[in-house]
Amino acid sequence: MTLTRAVVAATLVVGLLAPAPASAAPARHYEQAGPHAVTVERGGPDHTLYYPTDAPGPMPVLIWGNGTGATPEPYDAVLRHIASWGFVVAAANTTQSGSGREMLAGARFLIDEDKRPGSVFHGRIDETKIGAAGHSQGGGGAIAAGADPIVDTTVPIQPGPQGQVGALHGPAFFAAGQVDLIVPSFYVRARYGQADQVPAVFGEVRGAGHFLAGDTRVRLLGAVTAWLRYWLTGDQRAKPVFFGPSCELCGDDAWSSVARNDRAGEIT
C-alpha cells in the first residue's frame, strides 16, 4: 500500500482532464471542468481547501483522504475538478489517512466556519450534504469516515482495509482498476459486497492499474463527479450514469465490470 509522492504525482495527474466530445453522455459531461473557478488555500486543522472562487451557497462538502505516503498535492487536479462542480473540498494534509479522523476534522471545521461571521464560508456550507472520498489508504479512510452520521455518501477508490463497510449509513461507489496489483479488483469487489445495507455500486476501470493514468483516470473522475453531483446536489442529469434501466456505466466499454446491489437496483 506504500505510495511515494513522486510516483503518485507522475501518474495521477497526466491526462486527467481531456475534453469530452460535444455530444457527451452524462458521465462524459462530468469529465469536463465545472462552471466555477477554484480557489486553493491552507486552512482548518491542517487541511488544504478547494472551493468555488465565487463561493455560491449553500455548498456541499467533500472530505478527501490521500494514499499512503501522499499529500493532497499529487491529487491537486482531481480536487480542483471536483471543486469546479460546486463542492467545498477539505483534503487532510496527512500521509496516513486510514483512520478517517483527520478527514472528519475537515468537515467539522467547515461546519463551524459556516456559523462564523467573517468567514468566506459563513452561511455557505450545507452541513446536511457531506461526502467522503479517497484513494488507496485514503479510500479505506473514507469508509472509516463514512460511519460517522455527518457523512451522507462515500466513494472509496481502490480502498485499503481500513474502516467497516457494514457501518456505512449512506450510498457508496466502490471504484477498482482491472489490473491493479496493489489493491486488486477482487478485493474492492468483496468490500462492495459487504455494503448490502445501503445502495452500492461497484465499477472496475478497464485496463487500469493502481494509479489510473491517462484516459482511465478521466473515466473515473467523470463517474466520481457524477456520483457526488447526484447524491449531494440532486443533479438529475447524473442519475442515469448509475441508476435506472439504462445505467450508462453498465454499458460503457471503458468499464470492464459494473455491479449494483439490490438497493441500488431499486433506484429508478
Assigned domain for 234 exists: yes
| pLDDT confidence of residue 211 | 86
Side-chain half-sphere CA neighbours of 188 within 13 A: 33
Burial class (CB in 10 A: 0-12, 13-18, 19+), 149: exposed
How many structural domains does the chain have? 1
DSSP notation for 106-157: HHHHHHHHHTSTT-TTTT-EEEEEEEEEEETHHHHHHHHHTTSTT--EEEEE
Low-confidence ranges of the chain (pLDDT < 50): 1-24
Distance of CA 266 to the CA centre of its chain: 23
In a domain, 107, yes or no: yes
Chain centre distance of CA 244:
22
Round to whole Å and give the CA distance between 116 and 267.
Answer: 38
Beta carbons within 8 Å of 13's beta carbon, 6+ residues apart: 74, 76, 77
The answer to the question of residue 167 being in a domain is: yes
Give the CATH number of the domain where residue 193 resides.
Answer: 3.40.50.1820
Residue at 126 is within a domain:
yes
Determine the residue type at 80. R
Q: What is the pLDDT of residue 56?
A: 81
**pLDDT value, residue 9:** 37
Q: 39 to each of 79, 82, 105, 190, how far by Cα in Å?
A: 11, 12, 20, 37
Q: Burial of 232 by CB count in 10 Å (0-12 exposed, 13-18 middle, 19+ buried)?
A: buried
Residue 15 lies in a domain: no
| The pLDDT of residue 158 | 97
The angle subtended at Cα 121 by Cα 116 and Cα 127, nearest 5°, is 90
9-53 pLDDT per residue, tens: 333 433 333 333 334 466 789 999 999 999 999 998 999 999 999
pLDDT of residue 20: 38
Look up residue 263 and give its DSSP letter: H
d(CA 110, CA 44): 8
**What per-residue confidence (pLDDT) applies to 42?**
96
Decide if 3 is inside a domain: no
Predicted pLDDT at 7:
36
Cell numbers for 267, please give them: 433506484
| pTM of the entire predicted model | 0.91
**CB within 8 A of 144, min separation 6: which ones?**
98, 99, 100, 101, 162, 163, 164
pLDDT of residue 212: 63
- The closest of 191, 143, 188 to 168, measured between CA atoms, is 143
- Residue 261 within any structural domain of the chain: yes
* Residue 118: how many other CB atoms lie within 10 Å: 6
- Kindly state whether residue 158 falls inside one of the protein's structural domains: yes
Structural domain of 221:
34-266
Largest CA distance in the chain: 49
Beta-strand relationship, 172-177 and 125-135: unpaired
**In this structure, are residues 174 and 132 in contact, taking their beta carbons and an 8 Å threshold?**
no
